[in-house]
Amino acid sequence: AKTGAAHAKAPPGAIERTVFPDPTKAQGVGVGVDDGGYGFRSQFETEVRWRFGTKTTESSWSMTPLEKSQGIITPSGLHYERHHGGIATIDPTKHMLYIHGMVDEAKKFNMQDIRRFPFMSRICFLECSGNGLTEWIKPTLKTVQGTHGLTSTSEWTGVPLSTLLNEVGVKSGGKWLLAEGGDAAVMTRSIPLEKAMADCFLAYGQNGEAIRPEQGYPLRLVVPGYEGNMCIKWIRRIEISDTPFMTREETSKYTDLMPDGSALQFSFTMEAKSVITYPSGEMLLQRPGFYEITGLAWSGKGLVKKVEVSVDSGKNWREAKLHGPILPMCHTRFSIPWEWDGKEAILQSRCTDETGYVQPTIKELVAQRGTNGPLASIYHLNGIQSWKVAATGEVSNVHHY
Q: Single out the segment in contact with another protein by CB under 8 A; choices: 118-126, 202-210, 213-221, 384-392.
A: 118-126
Q: Please, which of residues 171-210 interact with a copy of itself by CB under 8 A?
A: 182-184, 186, 204-205, 207-210
Q: Please, which of residues 233-292 interact with ligand HEC by CB under 6 A?
A: 248, 252
Q: How many residues does the chain have?
A: 401
Closest CA to 72 of 280, 320, 277, 332: 332
Q: Give the containing element (helix H, strand E) for 275.
A: strand 273-278
How far is the C-alpha of 274 from the C-alpha of 335, rounded, in Å? 12
Among 159, 210, 221, 309, binds Ca ion (CB under 5 A): 210
Q: What is the DSSP letter of 41?
A: B
331 sits near ligand HEC (criterion: CB under 6 A): no
69 sits near a copy of itself (criterion: CB under 8 A): yes
Q: In what order do the strands lie in the sheet with 50-51?
A: 50-51, 60-63, 81-83
Least CB distance to a copy of itself at residue 144 (A): 14
> Using CB under 5 A as the criterion, which residues of the chain lie in contact with Co ion when the complex forms?
129, 227, 254, 267, 379
b (16+ CB within 10 A) / e for 36-68: eeeebbebeeebbbbebeeeeeeebbbbbbbbb
Using the minimum distance from each CB to a copy of itself, give the nearer residue, 45 or 394.
45
230 sits near Ca ion (criterion: CB under 5 A): no
Q: Please, which of residues 355-394 interact with a copy of itself by CB under 8 A?
A: none
Q: Give the containing element (helix H, strand E) for 85.
A: none
Least CB distance to ligand HEC at residue 56 (A): 5
Q: In what order do the strands lie in the sheet with 273-278?
A: 273-278, 289-298, 332-340, 321-322
386-389 and 395-398 beta bridge pairing: antiparallel
Using the minimum distance from each CB to ligand HEC, give the nearer residue, 58 or 167.
58
Q: Single out the segment in contact with another protein by CB under 8 A; choices: 66-74, 210-218, 264-272, 384-392.
A: 264-272
How far is the C-alpha of 212 from the C-alpha of 220, rounded, in Å? 10
Binding track over 189-228 against ligand HEC, x by CB under 6 A: ----------------------------------------
Among 291, 334, 340, 357, binds a copy of itself (CB under 8 A): 291
Q: Single out the segment in contact with a copy of itself by CB under 8 A; choices: 53-61, 102-110, 375-383, 386-394.
A: 53-61
Among 49, 82, 84, 305, binds ligand HEC (CB under 6 A): 84
246 Cβ contact partners less than 8 Å away, ≥ 6 residues apart = 190
Among 131, 386, 388, 389, binds Ca ion (CB under 5 A): 386
Q: What is the DSSP letter of 385?
A: P
Binding track over 58-97 against Ca ion, x by CB under 5 A: ----------x-----------------------------
How far is the C-alpha of 211 from the C-alpha of 98, rounded, in Å? 20
Task: Report what 260 binds from another protein, ligand HEC, a copy of itself, none; CB cut-off 5-8 Å by kind.
Answer: another protein
Using the minimum distance from each CB to ligand HEC, give the nearer residue, 106 or 263.
263
Least CB distance to Co ion at residue 267 (A): 3
45 sits near a copy of itself (criterion: CB under 8 A): yes
Q: In what order do the strands lie in the sheet with 386-389?
A: 318-319, 304-310, 345-353, 386-389, 395-398
Q: Please, which of residues 300-319 interact with another protein by CB under 8 A?
A: none
Q: What is the DSSP string of 286-309?
A: -SSEEEEEEEEEE-TTS-EEEEEE
Interface positions with ligand HEC (CB under 6 A): 56, 59, 84, 248, 252
